[in-house]
Amino acid sequence: MVYEASLAFKADFGDVDVTIDEKNREDIFDCIRARSVDIVIHPHPASEIAHEKDIGYEYMTRTRLAVCFARESRFFNLDFVTPEDLRNEEVVIHNSVQGKAWVSLFHKDSPILLASNNIGILKDAVKRGRACSVVHEFMFNSFPEAQTGEIFMVPLKDKNYFYEECWLTYPIQAGVSDEAKQFMKYVAVEMEKQAQLNKRSI
């Protein structure tokens, strides 16, 4: 989503530099306070953001969690999967606080193939059919492997955990620059496209 928005934005504003940097969830607020980023788009509990000083935030959307699989997976025709369905499925996880939390919630009895901070390695393991992985639904369709059909996602259904809210966060003192505000219009367009693509619902 952000990648597609960046391409469209650069096509119209070629003189504005755009850098996309992936951060671990636990490092986001430090980056905002240090002003090493202009804006951050991320799923996060509102209660945690509200306790952060000097950080502004605006609601963007609500995102589901989903599980991505290789296209040959037996889960292809399912409308959703549960943690019970994943019991014997090998998984790959992002080596972060959030990734480890997802393991405790959804993969207690699943064998873990590997943990890594490298998204490319995780996607490759899924694409090869070696493992599955939990992802945020709003991010999934920006993966090139999703667009080519090499991997697909199935919404994750769990009675205790399903949706997360997605926020735009920024340093309060600096505010959001005019360029960032313009960029967010392009993100909004991509979000609407993703919403149409993700109408497969439970």
pLDDT of residue 26: 74
CATH fold, domain 2-62+162-197, is D-Maltodextrin-Binding Protein; domain 2 (3.40.190)
pLDDT of residue 23: 76
**Per-residue model confidence as pLDDT tens digits over 122-179:** 999 999 999 999 888 777 766 778 878 899 999 888 876 667 788 889 988 888 889 9
CATH of the domain spanning 64-155, picked from 1.10.287.1770, 3.20.20.370, 3.20.20.140, 3.40.190.10: 3.40.190.10
Query: For 99-129, what is the HEC assignment?
Result: HHHHHHHHCCCCCEEEEECCHHHHHHHHHCC
Q: Computed from CA positions of residues 66, 70, 71, 73, in that sequence, does the dihedral angle turn out positive or negative?
A: negative
More confident site: 6 or 125: 125
End-to-end Cα, the chain, rounded Å? 22
CB 179 within 8 A of CB 13: yes
pLDDT of residue 96: 77
**Per-residue model confidence as pLDDT tens digits over 61-73:** 888 888 999 999 9
Q: Which of 105, 74, 103, 75 is nearest to 91 (CA)?
A: 103
Residue 197, pLDDT above cutoff 80: no
- Which residue ranges does the chain devote to CATH 3.40.190.10? 2-62+162-197, 64-155
